[in-house]
Amino acid sequence: MPGLTKRKYDAETMRLSKGLTRPLSLIVDTMKPGYSKEDLLQTFMFYYPFEWSTICERCHIYKEKDRFLIKKGKKKRYNSLKPEEFFYSLPKVNYLLSNGFREKHKLHYDEKKRVACDNNLKSKRIARIEKKKSSILANTKGQQRVDPGFIEALAYAYHKKGNTTDDKLEICKEIKKYDCDKTWEFFWKLNDSERNDQIRSFAFQCLQKSGHYAKLRKRFKGKRKQYMTDRSSFEGTPEGLANKLSDNQSVQNMKSYDLFISHSYKDREFVSDVVSDANKAGYNCYVDWTADNDFLKRSLVSDYTKEVLKARMRQSQKLLYLSSSNSRESAWVAFELKFYQEVVKNEIIMMVLDGEDSHDFKIIDRQRVE
């Protein structure tokens, strides 16, 4: 098995190397005579940022696998190079950096042709890069770019004996809500070793659609056991989440938040900006339509929704009230402020989006989340 695994790794390395031959041929036509190996790498990173990201993440993953093998008292298997070393080891790169090719490049150099090649490649690559970025943005909408501190606890709970496919998928969906190293490490491991087809496919798609390195794993060989083919029809409801939050052993009670964002859904575009700023400051935010989007559906609003919000407010260190003409007329916002003041009794801070607000809360600037 180790030999087979290594051969698969080597075969993937070869395919990756061949796949970079054409891009390298295109970028060298945009370079001036006397280019260095650093110039070649920087140009490649500029025109092919996602391909470079794949190289970096792949190197990281296999280096971690070797580290794990050593920890278990076994020999290294992959001996993965650092990203820069891998790039410079590519046959095409070695050829482009050879004295013979660089002399030939200098001899046939034409500045007008170089500029034309540069402009042509730039127009094509920038369009493709922006398209890729837009696709990633659409697939990661609502995802918070912060480590909430409980990813490890959720990952540990994932491997709890007796977990159903529903339980595992729920945990996967919770972890997916955060863009941090621990999230991608978790999904890389699932994509590598999870034997349930649905869960492994979920992990692969999370990685791929988020722009991360992912290798599609074929089905495991041998007899197909039931847990490998079990499928979850996970369908969350406010009542279901309320019941989970009343159970101290539920994974939903592992979650905690720095800020509970009390707001009107009509101000959702501004809410996204606030959450982004808060994430940059290291704060994990609770926004009902993203943090609990698998359960709190607007078509199913009920008293159970209130119970969920009460539980989430108890899990939050502070409440950030976004005061606007919309939120000042919202019965839901009024309910949240009243409950947080009277029951939770933690600090409430306020950001005034428009008009005036008579509440005696600490006001923070729109450009700064404390």
For residue 320, give the nearest of 266, 272, 274 by alpha carbon: 274
User: Structure tokens of 32?
Assistant: 């001036």
- Check residue 318 and report its DSSP letter: E
SS3 363: strand
Asked if residues 191 and 203 have their Cβ atoms less than 8 Å apart, the reply is yes
Tokens of 255: 């979650």
**Residue 320 β-bridge partners:** 261, 349
Q: 336 catalytic, yes or no?
A: yes
* Residue 262 and residue 322 in contact, taking contact as beta carbons nearer than 8 Å: yes
Angle at 88 between CA 87 and CA 92, to 5 degrees: 85
The amino acid at residue 290 is T
DSSP secondary structure string for all residues of 165-188: HHHHHHHHHHHHTB-SHHHHHHHH
Among 194, 336, 342, 370, the one annotated catalytic? 336
What is the CB-side half-sphere exposure of residue 121 using CA atoms within 13 A? 21
Residues labelled as active-site residues: 336
